Amino acid sequence: MTDFEVPVLSVKNLNKQYGPGCLKCRGGESSSLVKNYCQVCGTVYACRNVSFDVFPGEVLGIVGESGSGKSTLMQCLYFDQEVTSGEAYVSDYENGEKNLFQESSQQQRYIRNHIMGKVYQNPLLGLRMNFSSIGNIAEKLIAAGNNHVGMMESRGTELLNKVHIPVHRRKEAPKNFSGGMQQRVQIAKALSNHPPLLLLDEVTTGLDLSVQASVLDLIKSLQRELGISIVLVSHDLGVIRMLADRTLVMLEGKVIEQGLTDQILEDPQQPYTQQLVHSLL
């Protein structure tokens, strides 16, 4: 046995800025910034030196107010956006020795298709609304190199079963589905190629409470069953409390506090975290 577990995902000093930056804001370090916005050149520093590790089978929660850089961070990790600087390593890709952000766009696409799954807050981004639900799942399977219709159909049906989409509706387009069902199709799609790493961006925001509960339940049981690692972004502390083993708190693009979820929720150290925890109804 090794002394230390190897992280599935390791992110080091990730920076993302929108805008050119100027002498006044000095790469986001200046105190003249309003939150993370430079009033001189209009640059927004969305993520500033974000570093963290995700270990096998772990659920890492990320909380923070809106505009704190949570979603930008997730988009950078899934290569939807280019990072300004920083490194990320995935243990399943090249033994975790290659910085993902330096790889070519073909390689990044390979990583997305083979190693990651992502569920977006808005199903419009994660699904093709005019294609059938099973086709949406097949899209990810085809991208990961499958070329057998029968196999893809049975895998798709199995996954849709798992997320409680009735079998007779599997050939229907997600545009005909309710928000909660669309979200579940997204989860099935993200899980289709057995990704070791799943990125969940505000999956339950906007869903009603009972659907929220069933989606969360589903994620929890799938995570236990398949042993996947999850990075979970939410501004809902209830979701974080239920799912996350460890939690990062982000504010103005920076990680201001991190630790075990219980620790963060029971004994917050930073003023912002304290305020956040105490405003929990």
Partner 1 sequence: MNTTYNFAFFDEGSKREIRRATLKAIAIPGYQVPFASREMPIGRGWGTGGLQLTLSLIGMKDVLKVIDQGSDESVNAVNIKKLVSNTTGVEVTEHTSKATLIQSRHRIPEVPLTKEQILVLQVPLPEPLRYYEPSETETKKLHAEKEYSGAWLMLFEQIMKYGGMATGADHPVLVHDRYVMAPSPIPRFDNPKMNANEALILLGAGREKKVYAVPPYTKVVSLDFEDYLFQAEIFADKHCRICGQTDVFLDELVDELTDETVYQCNDTSNCLEKLNSVGVK
- Residues forming the site for partner 1 (CB under 8 A): 105-106, 109, 113, 128, 131-132, 134-135, 138-139, 142-143, 147-150, 152-153, 171
| For partner 1, the closer CB: 148 or 194 | 148
**How far is Cα 17 from Cα 28, in angstroms, rounded to an integer?**
9
Q: Which two tokens stand for residue 196?
A: 């070791």
17, 23, 36, 43 from 20: Cα distances, Å: 8, 10, 14, 6
Amino acid in position 177: F
In this structure, are residues 229 and 197 in contact, taking their beta carbons and an 8 Å threshold? yes
| For partner 1, the closer CB: 124 or 260 | 124
| For partner 1, the closer CB: 2 or 147 | 147
Residue 95's Cβ-count burial label (10 Å; 0-12, 13-18, 19+) is exposed
Q: How far is the CB of 108 from partner 1 (least distance, A)?
A: 9
| For partner 1, the closer CB: 53 or 172 | 172
| For partner 1, the closer CB: 142 or 256 | 142
Q: How far is the CB of 144 from partner 1 (least distance, A)?
A: 9
In this structure, are residues 268 and 277 in contact, taking their beta carbons and an 8 Å threshold? yes
Q: How far is the CB of 193 from partner 1 (least distance, A)?
A: 12
Q: How far is the CB of 136 from partner 1 (least distance, A)?
A: 9
- The alpha carbon dihedral of 237, 68, 33, 77 has a sign of positive
| For partner 1, the closer CB: 36 or 192 | 192
Provide, for the chain, the percentages of residues in helix, strand and coil under a 3-state DSSP scheme, each rounded to the nearest 5. Answer: 40, 20, 35
**How far is Cα 48 from Cα 81, in angstroms, rounded to an integer?**
15
Q: How far is the CB of 174 from partner 1 (least distance, A)?
A: 13
Among candidates 145, 146, 215, which has minimal Cα distance to 181?
A: 215
Q: How far is the CB of 8 from partner 1 (least distance, A)?
A: 25
| DSSP code, position 171 | T
Q: How far is the CB of 83 from partner 1 (least distance, A)?
A: 18
Length of the chain: 281
| For partner 1, the closer CB: 106 or 210 | 106
Q: Which residues pair with 63 in a beta bridge?
A: 249
